[in-house]
A and B are shown apart, each in its own frame.
Chain A
Amino acid sequence: MYTTKTMGGRMKKVLLTICFTAVLFAGCTTSNQRLLKIDSMPSDALVSVHEVGPGSSAVVRRIVGITPVEKNVDFGEENRLRLEIEKRGYVSKTVEVAPDEGKHSIHLERMKGGNGENVKEYIFPVVNRLLLAVPDFKVVKRGFSKESVSEEDTGIAKEALVTGIGAFFSGKYEVMPINPSHDDKRLKALWRDARTAMELVDPISLKYLPDTPFLETRSSREAARELGAEYGSEVALFVYGKQNRETAGMKFGKIGVTTAQTAVSYTSSYNNAVARGDSSFVYNVYTPNFAEGTILKAVLIDCHSGEILWANRGIWGRISFNDADTVKTIVADLLVGLN
């Protein structure tokens, strides 16, 4: 943050330059917003735009919506868009469209499996009982000169998450926590593949992927099937995450460092201004940046087939796991779409 001690003529010039630059850049970024109308046969397919990101050759994917969709979309300088239409069980289609072409109707063809059978569409199974693995969650305490996992806070957080998830599904599904010591080996295989899925599966496009995503290995699919049968559950939920907390010593240290930086900036700017004979000077105000926050990732697996039914992930600020209302809000946020 820059702070000016007095507002002189020089400052006005700076402001004028900033305004002029802003106007110039605003002109450069004029978008070509036009109405896109698209439908598919069958409907409920995911429409996304594939475009090359600014300053890079990487293709960026932007979700437009679910068919039928009518939306104002930026058609870019080329006045054309490359759209991908995806639906589970159907061969995905890529089409190029221009504005003013009216409504686009896309016919999707069924996708065939290895034996020539139709790949099944996305169906959420009927659930009565949900199996819940104890969340793999840790609380990291970041101190002045080191950081470590707090066992006590980790325990509190895990318990709060289990309670919060139970409350979220209350009245809908019966939640059955898995005893970790009893099923350790099977859970290990399941966790391994569930963690990979949490990282590699895109939560938004998951239910529209043409092919059904499953747990990767036979060991984990077998483990899901066995545990599901043993507990009488149709689905299993896995939640992973961590929270970074800073100790009072760390916070105090950061405040000290940024105060010292601000003082150095003020002193040197002041001295330079005096040496030049200027009546104003600019100095930096440094504010401490506290690296605290919580990350949570989750996947829901069909115990019978090992299919990955749902995934989500998110980042929140520092959460107090002793506050049931806060945990309830975060759990509802994480599990959105599952109720």
Chain B
Amino acid sequence: MKKSMKIILIAMTVYMLAGCSMPLKMTAPESLDLSGINRHPYTIGLFIPGELKEYVYEKQTSPFDKVSYPLGEQTALLFKKNLPSVFDDVKELDSKDPAQDVVLILEPSIVKFSSVIPSPAYNPYTATMIYRIDVYDNAGEKIFTQTAIGEAQTSKGLLSGFVARSLASEVAQKAMENAVRQIIEGLSEAEELKGYKQ
């Protein structure tokens, strides 16, 4: 009896710890509405460093509970999906070494991410994302940098506690989308990126 109790306790502990560090579920990002922005008529290379793609932000919400945000995966998807709205074509690259079939190489990075998962759960859920994108020409020279901030807040009032994880996920995604939208608009208006041809 004692042995079975021990096994149950260990199993429960493992289950609890595994459950606590489970990543937040984030829906696949959609294309943002960026109609009316200026497009650049050439192909760019998108270099997303491995450490960015795999980046997971972990937030300790209590001594036993941890929420992990798959920010790298979402960031990569967001940029891949939305950069074609400002450039003719986007090719994913494995390195930022100058490539012949692309005119410029873009490298995004996360400058800062912060989120609030409130306690009590009915207070506001907020998130802030700051992205930076560096643009290199074919000689490997940095020709442009844009940093942009995206913020978001949400809650379901007193009912928030029932959907706390999905609210934390939703607000982080909104903040990421806001920041990417501004990065795209910045790229679209950048004088430094005008005048290049395929």
Shortest CB-to-CB span from A22 to chain B, Å, is: 23
A196 contacts the other chain (Cβ, under 8 Å)?
yes
B189–A189 CB distance below 8 A: yes
Shortest CB-to-CB span from B22 to chain A, Å, is: 25
B153 contacts the other chain (Cβ, under 8 Å)?
yes
- Residues A217 and B186 in contact in the complex (CB < 8 Å), given A195-B149, A254-B122: yes
Q: A185 to B185: give the CA distance in the assembly, Å.
A: 10
A142–B155 CB distance below 8 A: yes
- Residues A291 and B118 in contact in the complex (CB < 8 Å), given A147-B124, A250-B157: yes
Known: A145-B158, A196-B149, A217-B190. 15 other contacts (CB 8 A): A142-B155, A144-B157, A145-B157, A146-B156, A185-B189, A188-B185, A189-B186, A189-B189, A192-B186, A200-B130, A217-B145, A217-B146, A250-B157, A254-B158, A291-B124
Q: A222 to B149: give the CA distance in the assembly, Å.
A: 21
Q: A218 to B186: give the CA distance in the assembly, Å.
A: 10
Q: Which 10 A-B pairs have the closest CB atoms?
A: A291-B123, A253-B158, A145-B157, A196-B147, A144-B157, A219-B189, A145-B159, A199-B149, A195-B149, A218-B191
Chain A, range 187-217, C-beta contacts under 8 Å to B = 188-189, 192-193, 195-196, 199-200, 216-217
Q: Which A residues are in CB contact (< 8 Å) with B144?
A: 217
A196–B130 CB distance below 8 A: yes
Of all chain B residues, the one with the shortest Cβ separation from A250 is B157
A140–B190 CB distance below 8 A: no
A289–B156 CB distance below 8 A: no
B21 contacts the other chain (Cβ, under 8 Å)?
no
A143–B157 CB distance below 8 A: yes
Q: A74 to B112: give the CA distance in the assembly, Å.
A: 31
29 sampled A-B residue pairs with Cβ under 8 A: A142-B157, A144-B157, A144-B158, A144-B159, A145-B159, A146-B155, A146-B157, A147-B154, A185-B189, A188-B189, A189-B186, A192-B146, A192-B148, A192-B182, A192-B185, A195-B148, A196-B130, A200-B112, A200-B147, A216-B146, A217-B144, A217-B145, A218-B191, A219-B186, A242-B153, A253-B158, A254-B122, A289-B123, A291-B118
B binding-site residues for A, Cβ under 8 Å: 111-112, 118, 120, 122-124, 128, 130, 144-149, 153-159, 182, 185-186, 189-192
Q: A67 to B117: give the CA distance in the assembly, Å.
A: 41
Chain A, range 153-179, C-beta contacts under 8 Å to B = none
Shortest CB-to-CB span from B5 to chain A, Å, is: 25
A222–B191 CB distance below 8 A: yes
Q: A217 to B159: give the CA distance in the assembly, Å.
A: 43
- Residues A257 and B124 in contact in the complex (CB < 8 Å), given A199-B149, A216-B146, A217-B186: no
What's the interface size class on A, roughly?
A: 20 to 34
Q: A257 to B122: give the CA distance in the assembly, Å.
A: 11
* Contact mask for chain A residues 235-278; partner B; CB cutoff 8 A; 1 contact, 0 none: 00000001010000010011001000000000000000000000
- Residues A250 and B191 in contact in the complex (CB < 8 Å), given A147-B124, A291-B118: no
Q: Which B residues are in CB contact (< 8 Å) with A200?
A: 111-112, 130, 147
Shortest CB-to-CB span from B162 to chain A, Å, is: 11
Partner of B158, one of A195, A196, A244, A250: A250
Q: Which B residues are in CB contact (< 8 Å) with A193?
A: 147
B148–A145 CB distance below 8 A: no
- Residues A257 and B158 in contact in the complex (CB < 8 Å), given A189-B186, A200-B147, A289-B120: yes
Q: A323 to B105: give the CA distance in the assembly, Å.
A: 52
Q: Which B residues are in CB contact (< 8 Å) with A195?
A: 148-149
Counting chain A CB atoms within 10 Å of each CB, the highest count among B111, B155, B159, B190 belongs to B155
Shortest CB-to-CB span from B139 to chain A, Å, is: 18
Shortest CB-to-CB span from B88 to chain A, Å, is: 21
Q: A185 to B36: give the CA distance in the assembly, Å.
A: 12
Q: A140 to B123: give the CA distance in the assembly, Å.
A: 12
Q: A192 to B147: give the CA distance in the assembly, Å.
A: 8
Q: A331 to B124: give the CA distance in the assembly, Å.
A: 25
Q: A193 to B183: give the CA distance in the assembly, Å.
A: 11
Q: Which A residues are in CB contact (< 8 Å) with B154?
A: 147
